[in-house]
A and B are shown apart, each in its own frame.
Chain A
Amino acid sequence: MHWWIRGYATRGSEWRRALGRLWRSRLALVGLAIVVALVVVAVFAPWIAPYSPTKINLRERLKPPSVAHPFGTDDAGRDILSRVIYGSRVTLRICVLVVGLTLGIGTLLGLISGYFGGWVDEVLMRVSDVFLAFPALILAMAIAAALGPSLENAIVAMVAIWWPRYARVTRGQVLSIREIDFVAAARAAGASSTRIMLRHILPNCISPVVVQATLDLGEVVLTAATLSFIGFGAQPPTPEWGAMVSVGRNFLRDYWWYTTFPGLAILITVMGFNLLGDAVRDILDPRLRRGP
C-alpha cells in the first residue's frame, strides 16, 4: 500500500506554491531541463537530425565519431546521432501511450472499485493482486512474446502489467473522500453515480495519480528499452535506443560508440524523468519529503 494515498486536497494556491518549490530545487530543475530537452528534440527531430535515421550508406559503415558524424555510424552506415535523436520520438511515444492508457484504464477501474465497493471492489482488487504477483518485466516479456514481437505489442504488454498501480492509487483516494461532506451533499441532492464520480470524486484523485505517473515514466522508459534489448520490442529499422544497444553489442570490442550513445540517451532520459518525478512527489505530497 502506498504511503501517500491518504487524503489531501489540491487548491489553486497550493499548485502555485508547489511551482515555487520546484523552482527552488536544483535537482528538480535538472530533471525538468532534461525532460524539456527530450520533448524539444523529439518534436523538432527532422530539423535537428543531420541525416535520415533509416537511410543506409554502406560506404560509411562503422565510422568512429567525427565532425560529419559526431556519434559515429552503425553497421549499415546510418548516422548514430540522427538515430538517437529520432529515438527520442519512439521513447516519448511509448511513454505517452503506456502512461496514458494505464492512467485511463487504471483510474477508471480504481474509481469504480472505490466508489461501489462490495464485490466489485473485491474482484477488481484481487485481479490487480494477481498482476502485481509477477515481477513486471517477466510478465511483460511473456505477454509480448505470446502476442509476437513488435513495439505495439510491447506497449500492450506494459499496459497490462501497469494498470493495477493506478487502480490502487485511485481507489485509495476515492475511499478517503467518498464520505466527505460535498460528496454526501451531492448524493443527497440526487446526483447520479456517474456524475458524482466524474464531477466530484475524480478531480480530487488527480494529484496522487499524477505523482504516480511522473514517478513511473522513468521505469516505463527502462522497461521498454529492456524489452527491445531482449528482442520483444521495436523491430528494425525503428531507431529505438534499447534495440540499438542490442545490435551494437556485437560490435562492443572494436566499435565502442555503437552502444555508448544510445545507452547514454536511455540513462539521461530516465534520470530526467526520475528527478522530475521525485520533485513532483515532494511538491504534491508535503507529508513526505524525501530527497534523493
Chain B
Amino acid sequence: MLAFFIARRLLLLVPTLLGVLLITFLISHIVPGDAAQLIAGPRATPEIIQRIRQEYGLDKPLHIQFAIYLGQVLRGDLGKSIRTRRPVGADIRAFFPATFELTTTAMLLAVLLGIPLGVISAVYRDRLPDHLSRVFSVIGVSMPIFWLGLLLLFLFYIRLGILPGPGRISGDPPAHITGLYLFDSLLTGNWRALGDAALHLVLPSFTLAFAVLARITRMTRSSMLEALAQDYVRTARAKGLHERWVVVRHGLRNALIPTLTVIGLSYGELLGGAVATELIFAWPGMTHYVVGSMTSLDFPAVMGVTLVIAIIYITVNLLVDITYALVDPRIRY
C-alpha cells in the first residue's frame, strides 16, 4: 500500500519536474536577451558570438533548444558558469555543503527549541510562560531575517564580543572530505577547527531558525491544546496517571503530526531565508553564490542553482508526505 502511494507521488512529480525545468529554461535562455553575447563576454567579435550561438544551439528554434537543454540536464550537465568559468555542477558541489550545514543546524535548532517551547506554552496555557511564548511567536514570524541578523551581529559580535562574526571559520578549514566543517573536523580530529566552525554557526543558524522556530512553537502549542482536550487524554488523567506522563505519552505524540507538516513546509522557507542569512554573515554558501550569479547575469549558474534548490525542496516535501503517511494511521493512501 505504502509503496503504491510513494510510486504514485513519484509519478505525479514528473510533470512538475518538467515544468520546473521549463521555468529555469525560460529564465536562463530567453529573459536576459542575447545569451550568446553574455557567454562570449566583452569584446567578442561577431564571429565568436556566431560560433557560440551555434555551439550552444542558440540559433535553433526554442523547442529544440529546450530539448537540448533537457538532454544536458538529464546527463547531469548544468553548463558552465560565465562568472567563475567553471562547470556549474562543480560550483554547486563546492558551495552546497556550507548551505546544507547552515540550514540543517537551523532546522535542528528550531525543532529542538520549538517543540519544548510549544509544549510548555500549552501546559501553562494562559499563564506567563504561555504569554511570553505567544508574543515570541508573533514577533518571530514577523521578523525580517536580514534585520535580525544585523541585530545579533551588532550585539553579540561588536558590542559583547562573545561570538564570532562573519565567515564560516577563522583559520584554515579542516581537510576537505564532505565540505561540512563540523563533520570533517570531527573525522580528522581537528578540534581547533571544530570549535571554531561550531561557534561561527551559532549566530547565522539562530538567525535563520528564528521564524521557523516561532512557527513550530505555535503549531506545537495549538496541536498540544487540541490533543490535551481529547477524550483519551482526559481518560488518562482520570486514571490518575502522572501529569508529565500524560503530556508526553498522549499529548505530544499526537501533537507532533501537524508539527511535522510545518517542519516540511518550513524547509523551503529556510532555503529562502538562507539568502539573507548568508549575505549578512558572509557565509560562502549556495544562495550567496546564486545572488552573485544573478547580479552578474550569470544565467547558467542561476538556472543550475534554482533547479537544484527546487529539487531539494520537492524531495523534502515528498519525504514529509511519506513520513506523514507512516506516522498518521488515519491517512489512507
Binding site for B on A (CB under 8 A): 27, 126-127, 129-131, 133-139, 141-143, 145-147, 218, 222, 225-226, 229-232, 242, 245-246, 249, 252-253, 256, 259, 263, 266-267, 270-271, 274-275, 290-292
Residues of B within 8 A of A275 (CB): 138
B145 touches A290 (CB 8 A): no
Contact present for A135 and B269 (CB under 8 Å):
yes
> What's the nearest-Cβ distance from chain B to residue A199, in Å?
34
Interface set, chain B 49-95, CB cutoff 8 A to A: none
Check B222 against A290 for contact (C-beta < 8 Å).
yes
Contact A245 B144 (CB under 8 A): yes
| Contact stretch, chosen from B108-116, B196-204, B231-239, B309-317 | B309-317
Given A135-B313, A139-B306: A229 and B276 within 8 A (CB)?
yes
- The answer, among A131, A145, A252, A270, for a CB contact under 8 Å with B294, is A145
Closest to B268 in A: A135
Q: B313: which A residues are within 8 A, CB to CB?
A: 133-135
Return B148 CB to nearest CB of chain A, in Å. 8
* Extra inter-chain contacts (10) besides given A133-B17, A242-B146, A271-B138, CB under 8 Å: A134-B310, A135-B309, A142-B24, A226-B146, A226-B275, A245-B146, A245-B147, A253-B154, A263-B144, A267-B143
The 7 closest A-B pairs by CB, nearest first: A130-B19, A137-B272, A263-B147, A145-B294, A146-B31, A135-B268, A270-B142
Give 22 CB contacts A-B under 8 Å. A129-B19, A130-B15, A131-B23, A135-B269, A135-B271, A135-B272, A135-B310, A137-B272, A138-B272, A147-B31, A225-B144, A226-B144, A226-B145, A229-B146, A230-B291, A249-B150, A252-B150, A259-B147, A267-B142, A271-B139, A274-B138, A292-B138
**1/0 per position for B250-281, CB-CB distance to A under 8 A?**
00000000000000000011011101100110
Interface of B (DSSP majority class): helix
The minimal Cβ–Cβ distance linking B151 to chain A, given in whole angstroms, is 8
Q: Give the complex CA separation of A27 and B151 in angstroms.
A: 26
* Given known A-B contacts A252-B150, A252-B154, A136 and B268 have beta carbons under 8 A apart: yes
B153: chain A residues at CB < 8 Å are: 252
Instruction: Please determine whether A133 and B310 come into contact, CB atoms closer than 8 angstroms.
Output: yes
Q: Which residues of B contact A291 (CB under 8 A)?
A: 134, 222
Closest to B30 in A: A146
**Knowing A139-B306, A141-B275, A267-B139 touch, does A146 contact B15 (C-beta < 8 A)?**
no
Residues of A within 8 A of B299 (CB): 146
Residues of A within 8 A of B291 (CB): 141, 230
Do the beta carbons of A267 and B144 come within 8 Å of each other?
yes
Interface size on B, residues (CB 8 A): 52
* Number of A-B contacts defined by CB within 8 Å: 141
Taking A130-B20, A145-B294, A146-B32 as contacts, is the C-beta distance between A245 and B150 under 8 angstroms?
yes
Q: Closest residue to B280 on the A side, CB-wise?
A: A249
Q: A232 vs B294: C-alpha distance in the bound complex, in angstroms?
A: 9
Q: Does B16 contact A (CB under 8 A)?
A: yes
For B138, what are the chain A residues with a Cβ–Cβ distance below 8 Å? 27, 271, 274-275, 292
Closest to A249 in B: B150
Residues on B with C-beta less than 8 A from A222 are: 142, 144
Complex-state Cα separation, A267 to B32, whole angstroms = 34
Q: Chain B nearest CB: distance from A19 CB in Å? A: 22
CB distance from A87 to the nearest CB of B (A): 13
Q: Which residues of B contact A141 (CB under 8 A)?
A: 275, 290-291, 294
Judge if B302 is at the interface, Cβ distance under 8 Å: yes
* Cβ < 8 Å to A, chain B residues 121-143: 134, 137-139, 141-143
The residues of A that contact B306 with a CB separation of less than 8 Å are 134, 138-139, 142
Is B19 a contact partner of A127 (Cβ separation < 8 A)? yes
By beta carbon, the residue of chain A nearest B138 is A292
CA distance A225 to B309 in the complex (A): 22
Residues of B within 8 Å of A145, CB to CB, are: 294-295, 297, 302
Residue B185, interface by CB 8 Å: no
Q: A residues within 8 A CB of B142?
A: 218, 222, 267, 270-271, 274
Are A267 and B271 touching (Cβ within 8 A)? no
Residue in A141, A146, A270 with the greatest tally of chain B CB atoms within 10 Å? A146
**Chain B min CB distance to A28 (Å):** 12
Residues of chain A within 8 A (CB-CB) of B150 are 245, 249, 252, 259, 263
List the B side residues contacting A131 at CB < 8 Å.
Answer: 23
Find residues 280-326 in chain B having any chain A CB closer than 8 Å to their own CB.
280, 287, 290-291, 294-295, 297, 299, 302, 306, 309-310, 313-314
Q: How far is the CB of B288 from chain A (nearest CB, A)?
A: 10
Of listed B16, B137, B218, B272, residue having the most chain A CB within 10 A: B272
In the bound complex, CA of A140 to CA of B316 (Å) = 20
Contacts of A147 in B (CB 8 A): 31
A201 to B135, CA, bound (A): 39
Contact A146 B222 (CB under 8 A): no
Of chain A, the residue at the smallest CB distance from B141 is A274
Bound state CA distance, A239 and B24, in angstroms? Answer: 32
When the two chains form the complex, which single residue of B16, B137, B143 contacts A126, counting CB atoms closer than 8 Å? B16
Q: Is B27 in contact with chain A by the CB < 8 A criterion?
A: yes
Query: Chain A contacts of B32 at CB under 8 A?
Result: 146
